[in-house]
Amino acid sequence: MSNKFYLTTPIYYVNARPHIGTTYTTVVADVIARRKRAQGVDTFFLTGTDEHGQKIQRSAEKANCSPQEFTDQVAAQFRALWDRMGLTYDDFIRTTEPRHKRGVEKLFTLLRERGYIYKGSYTGQYCVSDEAFVDVPPGAPCPDCGRITETVNEENYFFKLSAFERTLLEYYEAHPEFIRPETRRNEVISFVKAGLKDQSVSRTSFKWGIPVPGDEKHVIYVWMDALINYISAIGYGSDDPADKAKFEKYWPADLHIVGKEITRFHCVYWPAFLMAAGLPPPKSIVAHGWLLFEESKMSKSRGNIVRAETILDVLGADALRYFLLREVVFGQDGSFSFDALVQRYNSDLANGYGNLVSRTLTMIGKYFDGVVPEATGLQADSIATEAPNAIAAFNRSIDALDFSRALESAWTMVAAVDGYLTASAPWKQPDSITDEQQRAFRATVLYTAAEAIRIITALVYPVIPDAASKVWTQLGLGDIQKADLKNLTWGGLKPGTQLGEIGPVFPRAEKDAITRMQEIEQANATVTESKIPLSASAPIETTQTAVPAPAETDGLAAAAGEESAPPSIAPAASGPATAAPMATTPVPEKITIDDFLKVELRVAQIKVAERVPKADKLLRLEVDLGYETRQILAGIAEAYAPETLIGRKVVIVANLAPRKLRGLESNGMIVAASLGEAGKPVLAGFLEEIEIGARLK
């Protein structure tokens, strides 16, 4: 068996700050890396950031800074969070680094020389959010994310993906472990069997990317650029002998860990690029499911993210790591909630493992002056005899990447030892036995519990490294990072070992932990973009605003009806007072200028307007904001014929959380006056010529 292990996470887009979805993948990789190292394997763990492309260029424009400044700041945020989480990555690659550029240029040039890249022209749809060319008619939404696609008509370089159809299928067949789990493997095989088209691998309509060598009008397609990070980070493209040796040593990667939505890029395009270059594909790609929050995928664009920092502030990194690996069955989607997090923390960590450690070590302190006693050979229950099975079960599950089951088996052992302690009650001394007998009994019980704790701690160290390090020291075993955790066998804890200083490992979460975390998130979500300095500690983009959803207050989307939330009893600040119980005029609550500035009002131009089938009041609009195009659904179809709206400049609320109406995503709201009882909408506009994207304040 080879004694090296190269594993990677996706490199994350810097248009959004890190959240617990991106943290999830990186924590999984960290657990695997720590376990491999503990087994003595030469491990290389790579993560990083994906910094080129149209999406990032637009985000930088929106933040009023250069793409380089923008990416520098956000990449630093990612690193800072990963460091705070104690993630033990060996390298952090940024696609704006010269070493990466060299690798991309080398691979692109090689594929062009080998005839796998040629020039052609592309007319079709592009999803900027996914940075993907999609096969749908103009105006149709992206089949993957449902967002609006843009029509692209460009002279491009193409990669001959079609030439790899058979080769890829044969490769999948010969290497069943290449794509895991089975469901993803089947999806990929069906996709390839349906036929592969050549893939556009350059863009000309924007600049933020790596120029095509010798043809600088083009920048290399961001996905081709990004995938190459896996080889550029370990020296591909460099002439330095040390880099070459590193590449020889670590490539092919042993494991790429990715979220399920990017399987196709990794399992189809990536091996095809590598095969075209004469390089071996990675050994295995594992796609995990999504972390859901409020029932949909946690993501920046949905505005439903939870920041890892909030959890670190209140419960610590181990709590988040444990929760993610225990609660989410790897490969499947799993839900996050603060309630579930705190419940797991208290039941498994504070009352479970933490309490077991504390009661055992305290009793060794009390009855044996803090020195591990020797078991006297009296009945040690089944704990000792069961230990080898428990260790084997844990190892089997974790090696199969079934983290949840592995932890479940470790916590079965925690419960068994806890039950054993309670049943043995070494703190009691029945009248029937002598002091000496009692001492021998206590010694056996407490040795058994302490040795079981040592084994559990060694097993779960990759998942809860901080707590495990503390417990290891409290057991008197020194630095866990220097310990040999490989061949765990019963009896490794030597009697006579002097315990270290005992202290709490997982203090119980306070009653208000959930509300504290919710409040921190709320406070963060309501920080507006206008107030955010682009600094390492500040969030880059808002996730939600504190503004009540105008759909409920202005009657526009509400008029459209479908899927809008039930009207809340909102402050009577605006909108028709539908069921006002008294005939008094409600007095609008005063707001501060800061409150007003939370609403991002911008000028946008309507580019496309069309009716939505089976929704009489609803129009689907595509509006241009200068820095991006959006889809907005507006309940104005009874007042405006769609064709009269094309080219019209309107005011939109640009930072409204997206919502779905009739299955279509609406990303913002058009501002209109509401006339008469029926609330006839009249669009706001300008008398002077006005620039698209201008902010109203």
Where does this chain bind ligand ME8 (CB under 6 A)?
10-13, 21-22, 24-25, 50, 226-227, 229, 258-259, 261-262, 290-291, 297-299
**CA 596 to chain centroid:** 32
Which is closer to ligand ME8, CB of 229 or CB of 358? 229
Nearer to ligand ME8, 168 or 328 (CB): 328
Longest dimension (CA), the chain: 100
Closest approach of ligand ME8 to the CB of residue 21, in Å: 3
Q: Please, which residue, 15 or 655, has the CB nearer to ligand ME8?
A: 15
Q: Which is nearer to ligand ME8, 266 or 649 (CB)?
A: 266
Write down the least CB distance from residue 292 to ligand ME8, Å. Answer: 7
Closest CA to 29 of 6, 8, 50, 4: 8
Distance CA 140, CA 144 (A): 12
Closer CB to ligand ME8, 5 or 293, in the complex:
293
| Nearer CB in complex with ligand ME8: 229/528 | 229
- Residue placing its CB nearer to ligand ME8 in the complex, 11 or 619: 11
- Distance separating alpha carbons of residues 147 and 144, to the nearest angstrom: 8
Least Cβ distance, residue 496 to ligand ME8 (angstroms): 47
Beta carbon nearer to ligand ME8, 231 or 625: 231
The minimum distance between CB 75 and ligand ME8, in angstroms, equals: 12
Residue pair 156/145 in contact (Cβ under 8 Å)? The answer is no
Work out how close the CB of 632 gets to ligand ME8 at its nearest, in angstroms, rounded to a whole number: 23
Q: How far apart are CA 402 and CA 332, in angstroms?
A: 11
The rounded distance, in Å, linking the Cα atoms of 599 and 601 is 6
Judged on CB neighbours under 10 Å (0-12, 13-18, 19+), 217 is exposed
Q: Supply 111's token pair.
A: 């594929």
Spell out the alpha helix ranges (H) of 461-555: 465-474, 513-525, 550-553
Q: How far is the CB of 531 from ligand ME8 (least distance, A)?
A: 24
Please count the residues of the chain. 697
Say how far apart CA 369 and CA 376 lie, in whole Å.
18
What does the alpha-carbon distance between residue 310 and residue 293 come to, in Å, rounded to a whole number?
Answer: 15
Q: Least Å distance between CB 56 and ligand ME8?
A: 10
Contact between residue 55 and residue 131 where contact means Cβ atoms under 8 Å apart: yes
Look up residue 144 and give its two tokens. Answer: 């993957």
Asked if 209 and 203 count as a contact pair (C-beta separation under 8 A), the reply is yes
15/74 Cα distance (integer angstroms): 8
Q: Closest distance between ligand ME8 and the C-beta of residue 25, in Å?
A: 4
According to DSSP, residue 429 is labeled -
Nearest approach in angstroms of CB 82 to ligand ME8 is 13
Other C-beta atoms closer than 10 Å to the C-beta of 188 total 22
- Mention every residue, 6+ apart, whose C-beta is less than 8 A from residue 632: 621, 622, 623, 652, 666, 667, 668, 669, 670
Measured from the CB of residue 49, what is the shortest distance to ligand ME8 in angstroms?
8
Query: Least distance in Å: CB of 270 to ligand ME8?
Result: 8
In the complex, the smallest distance separating the C-beta of residue 539 from ligand ME8, rounded to whole angstroms, is 15
Question: Nearest approach, Cβ of 145 to ligand ME8 (angstroms)?
Answer: 10
Q: Which residues contact 179 (CB under 8 A, 6 or more apart)?
A: 172, 185, 188, 263, 267, 284, 285, 287
Give the whole-angstrom CA distance, residue 360 versus residue 442: 11
Q: How far is the CB of 334 from ligand ME8 (least distance, A)?
A: 8
CA-based nearest residue to 555, from 668, 671, 662: 671
CB of 436 to ligand ME8, least distance (A): 58
User: Nearest distance from residue 297's CB to ligand ME8, in Å?
Assistant: 5
In three-state secondary structure terms, 646 is: coil
Q: Least distance to ligand ME8 from the beta carbon of 169, Å?
A: 23
List the structure tokens of 363: 């009793």
Residues β-bridged to residue 8: 46, 256
186's enclosing H/E stretch is helix 182-193
175: left (phi over 0), alpha (psi -120 to 50) or beta: beta
For residues 476 and 372, the answer to whether their CB atoms sit within 8 Å is: yes
Residue from 121, 185, 111 nearest 157 by CA: 121
Residue showing tokens 């509401």: 674
* CB neighbours of residue 242 within 10 Å: 9
Contact (Cβ atoms closer than 8 angstroms) between residue 648 and residue 606: yes
Which strand (E) or helix (H) includes residue 9? strand 4-13
Q: Which is nearer to ligand ME8, 289 or 681 (CB)?
A: 289
How distant is the alpha carbon of residue 522 from its chain centre? 19
CB 502 within 8 A of CB 74: no
CA dist list (Å): 124 to 127, 264, 351, 629:
10, 19, 58, 16
